[in-house]
Amino acid sequence: MSNSLYYLIREPKVKQEKNPLILLLHGYGSNEEDLFSFAGQLPEEYYIISARAPYHIPPYGNAWYAINFDSDMNKFSDDNQAIESRELIVKFIDELIDQYPIDAQKVTLLGFSQGAILSYSIALTYPEKIDRVVALSGYLNMDIIDKGFNTNDISKLRFFISHGVVDQVIPVDWARKAPEVLKDLKLDVEYHEYPVGHGVTPQNFYDLLSWINKTNR
C-alpha cells in the first residue's frame, strides 16, 4: 500500500491490542529524520511515526507550505498550500490507522515550527481525530483553521506549547497568543518558555516528555 506521505516508523516495544500514536511533523526546510531523533526517548508503548512534508526544498529539505517574501521583505505563508497539507496529514493519519493497530482515540501530534502551526490547525479542525498536541516553536494561524471550528466538540483536546524567548524565526509574542486563545476556549494548555532561539533544549524535551507521561489516559 502506498501512503500519502513518506515516513519513518518506530514500532511500539510494548505491544497492546491497539497502541497510541505520536506523529512527528518537522519544520520548514527539514525532513523526517530531524524529529525522529527523539524516537528512542519517547515512551515504549507508542507508535512513533515521522512524516516527510510534500514540497521539496533544494538541496535536501522539505516544507509543508511555501513561505514567500514581498518587496519589503515581509514574510507570509501560502495558506492554501498549508490547508492542502493539513488535509493530506489527516488522510495520512486515516491510512496509518487502517494499516497498523493504532488506537484512533489516542493520536498525539508533535510538531516543530511549520509542523506545530499545522498541528494546531489539524487538531482544531478535526478534534475527533486528535487527542493531544505538542507545539514546539510555532504559532496559531487562524487563517488555516476551519472557520466554524468552535462548533465542533473540541473539549478533549490538550496542548503542550513551548517557545524560545529569543526565537529569531517566529517571535515569542506570536507564540504567546496561542495559550490565551486556547484557554479562552476552555482547553487544557501547558505553556513553557526557554532562554533559546528557534530550537528545542534538553529541558524543553524533558518537560514535554513529562507532560506526555502525565496526560496519558
What's the DSSP call for residue 17? S
Could you tell me if 45 and 21 are in contact, meaning their C-beta atoms sit under 8 angstroms apart? no
Which CATH architecture describes the domain 7-214? 3-Layer(aba) Sandwich (3.40)
**CA dist., res. 146 & res. 152, Å (int):** 10
* Per-residue pLDDT tens digits of the chain, which is 217 residues long: 578 999 999 999 989 999 999 999 999 999 999 999 999 999 999 999 999 999 999 888 999 999 876 666 566 789 999 999 999 999 999 999 999 999 999 999 999 999 999 999 999 999 999 999 999 999 999 999 999 998 999 999 999 999 999 999 999 999 999 999 999 999 999 999 999 999 999 999 999 999 999 998 7
Domain boundaries, the chain: 7-214
Q: How many residues does the chain have?
A: 217
Largest CA distance in the chain: 55
Residues 6+ apart with CB under 8 A from 28: 57, 61, 63, 64, 67, 113, 114
